[in-house]
Amino acid sequence: MLLEHWGLYAPNASMLKQRLAVRTTLLFLLLSFTGASVQAQIGVRLLEEHDTNDDAFAYTTGTYTPRAGSVLLAVVTNSSGTANNADSYAQPTSATGNGLTWTRMNSVLFASNNRRLTIFRAYTGNNVTQGSFTVNFPGEGNGQRRRSATIQIIELVGLEVTGTNGSDAFAAVNTATGTNSTATVTVGGAIDFAGTGMMGIFATNDNDFEGQEENGWDMLSNVDISSENLSAGISYALNTYDNSARMTDMTGNWAAIGIRLAPAEYYFNFPVVSTSAAS
């Protein structure tokens, strides 16, 4: 059973239900004349977690099944190879899984080039194939093999799915690195209305993820490989004006990626919303 988290509608209107034909007709006419729209409700759930301290050029998760029409995020952290050259800490070259096209969105080196944080996205469309995710790294020889990796697969619904491979689902993305105890990453542009989702993705070279999400945010997932001093955590807020993601009580060197989610807009369309857990 996978627990699913839903955000609120924005702007802050009552939940619209098509119970009465007269009410529905009046609302339709009002929106037609005003050109108003109703935003979709954003939902997020964790599909898969994976960690391994094997030396390799490719890492693969267990199997999972995404839903049609969802946007997937794959969060990958890895330790660099032992060789002191660029190939041992280069970013992933590609990713595959579920018969989808995965696009690398961002990749950040930290901890003196010894650790890396990368995110990929994919849009399922009508594809609901069960499968696993594989990330591939460049290089050759034992010294360039990555020493460990963690992977977290997130499913998002209620986002804009236009653009190339669901690119419009993310209104803004930014990165940051540091060593202070509070990790902060700020995305560009002010948020004009509540209901816009924010996600913070954090990685450290600590053997256990000890970061604490800020007030009003929820922790979605954290993974660690204690033997490799590699850990990652993901927090989110689905109804916020804040355009910064923060994690307190961080230790060691860290990297962060902040993502502002773009809710889909339903014109004259009031979707039926389920808040039950998804399986």
31-69 tens-digit pLDDT: 445 444 445 688 999 999 999 999 999 999 999 999 999
What pLDDT score was predicted for residue 32?
46
- CA angle (118 as vertex; 116, 123 as ends), nearest 5: 170
Supply the pLDDT for residue 227: 92
Q: What is the pLDDT of residue 245?
A: 96
Cα–Cα distance, 208 to 67 (Å, whole number): 32
* Mean pLDDT in residue range 79-91: 92
| pLDDT the model gives residue 108 | 97
Nearest alpha-carbon partner for 194 in 70, 39, 51, 55: 39
If you average pLDDT over every residue of the chain, what do you get? 83
Q: What integer pLDDT is reported at residue 27 of this predicted model?
A: 41
* Residue-level pLDDT at 43: 92
3-state helix, strand, coil in the chain (%, to 5): 10, 45, 45
CB 42 within 8 A of CB 155: no
Separation between Cα atoms, residue 150 and residue 194, nearest integer Å: 32
The residue-averaged pLDDT of 71-91 equals 94
Q: Is 22 helix (H, G, I), strand (E, B) or coil?
A: helix
pLDDT at 14 (0 to 100): 31
**Amino acid symbol at 127:** N
To which H or E segment does residue 232 belong? strand 230-240
Kindly tell me if the per-residue pLDDT of 24 is higher than 80.
no
b/e per residue 14-48 (b: at least 16 CB within 10 A): eebeeeeeeeeeebeeebeeeeeebbbbbbbbbbb
Q: What confidence score (pLDDT) does residue 205 get?
A: 96
pLDDT, mean of residues 257-279? 54
pLDDT of residue 240: 80
Q: In the predicted model, what is the mean pLDDT of residues 235-259? A: 93
Residue 224 pLDDT level (bands cut at 50, 70, 90): very high
Identity of the amino acid at 70: S
Q: What is the pLDDT of residue 249?
A: 96
According to the model, what pLDDT value does residue 3 have?
52
Question: What does the pLDDT read at residue 36?
Answer: 45
pLDDT score recorded for residue 65: 97
What is the rounded CA–CA span in Å between residue 89 and residue 65? 31
Residue 265: pLDDT band (50, 70, 90) is confident
3-state secondary structure of 196: strand
Q: Is the pLDDT of residue 195 over 70?
A: no
* The model's pTM: 0.83
What is the pLDDT averaged over residues 181-189?
A: 91
Quote the DSSP letter at residue 190: -
pLDDT in the model for residue 120 = 98
As beta bridge partners, residue 178 has 254
Residue 179 is predicted with a pLDDT of: 96
Query: pLDDT tens, 106-161?
Result: 999 999 999 999 999 999 999 889 999 999 999 988 899 999 999 999 999 999 99
Contact 168, 12 (CB under 8 A): no
